[in-house]
Amino acid sequence: MRVLYTFILMVLTGTICLGQSSISKGDSLRREGKLEAAIIAYKEEYKQTKQWKTGYNLACVYALTFQKDSAYQYLNMALKEDNSLWALADSDLYALIDDPRWSAIEESQLKRYQEHHGKLMQPEYARKLLRIIIRDQALDYYIDQAKSYFMKEGTAPQWYYPLGAYKEQIIEENYKTMQQLLEIYGWPKYSMVGELAADAPLLVINHHKDDAVRKEYLTQIKQSCIDQEGSCMEYAKIQDRVLVNDNELQIYGMQFRYNAQRVLEPFPIIDPEYVDQRRAEIGLEPLKEYLKRKIKYDWNVVQLKE
């Protein structure tokens, strides 16, 4: 039951290959869990267009099927056109990070990023934080497949249980690594390591099984949000999760549950007619837009302002 409970939490709290403006055949097949067919589709698309994003998505699917050599082949080609740090935090590439070739990917991408966006004050800290993110999101593709199965069948698939147990192990190990990094470098800031890397502790804390961990860091997380040195989105998720787990009404509408029809809906919200005002105060989009995009839920509570 413990592993099943963890599965439900993974579904409710959510996560972070590369999105494109339109859904291709390869994208659709990947989402359906048909990875070998997705490889064929992406290869055909890449042959025709030579677009680096298609090559990147092909690398992701090769990594998801643990075909590492092919994944590295297309990843190295794609990243020549990408000056972001996204690949260093992309969980679809999790199978690659213990390969000796991954360090070269990290080094070249950090260099490319800094050439285009300015020098990071703590680049080594950023690298280590990005590794935390990719581990935090590890196995999420397969867990999403389990979520789809659960929504259809009402129960987790048998093959999910070892994944759920392994995911818990990764989360606990990641938390210990995070504590060590915080002791050495201090709390990360956007201005020091970049926005993507700085949010690593928030993801680890939000996904930890113990609410005491979230409560311990909540003040720091909130202050980083206020100072614009950390994610207000992740702060809202963590704040609401603490409240929901204490059987209290959430503030921002960031935590979801399955109803009797196995449809996701937000947990009850305090003064729901003012939720958009509270969200706007920390820079979040209206809840109606968020819920429609996140879980395809129609939120129709008329909003007021004090």
Contact between 115 and 83 (Cβ < 8 Å): yes
How big is the chain, counted in residues? 306
pLDDT at residue 18 in the model:
57
Q: How far is the first Cα of the chain from the last one, in angstroms, to the nearest whole number?
A: 44
pLDDT single digits (tens) 24-71: 999 999 999 999 999 999 999 999 999 999 999 999 999 999 999 999
DSSP code string of 135-159? HHTTTHHHHHHHHHHHHHHSS--TT
User: Is residue 258 within a helix (H) or strand (E), and if so which, with residue range?
Assistant: strand 256-258
Buried b (16+ CB within 10 A) or exposed e, 117-147: eeebebbebbbbbbbbbbbbbbbbbebbbbb
Q: How far apart are CA 94 and CA 66, in angstroms?
A: 9
| Positive or negative: CA dihedral 281, 9, 135, 25 | negative
Beta bridge mates, 34: none
Q: Which residues of the chain have pLDDT under 70?
A: 1-22
For the whole model, what pTM was predicted?
0.86
Q: How far apart are CA 75 and CA 54, in angstroms?
A: 10
Distance of CA 32 to the CA centre of its chain: 19
CA distances from 146 to 150, 167, 179, 270 (A): 6, 13, 30, 31
pLDDT at residue 262 in the model:
82
pLDDT at residue 154 in the model:
83
Q: How far apart are CA 7 and CA 149, in angstroms?
A: 12
Pick from 84, 76, 194: nearest CA to 129: 194
The first and second tokens of residue 265, run together, are 């809906």
* Domain locations along the chain: 2-180, 210-298
Q: How far apart are CA 128 and CA 186, in angstroms?
A: 13
Beta bridge mates, 265: 257
pLDDT at residue 52 in the model:
96
CA distances from 286 to 107, 289, 301 (A): 39, 6, 11
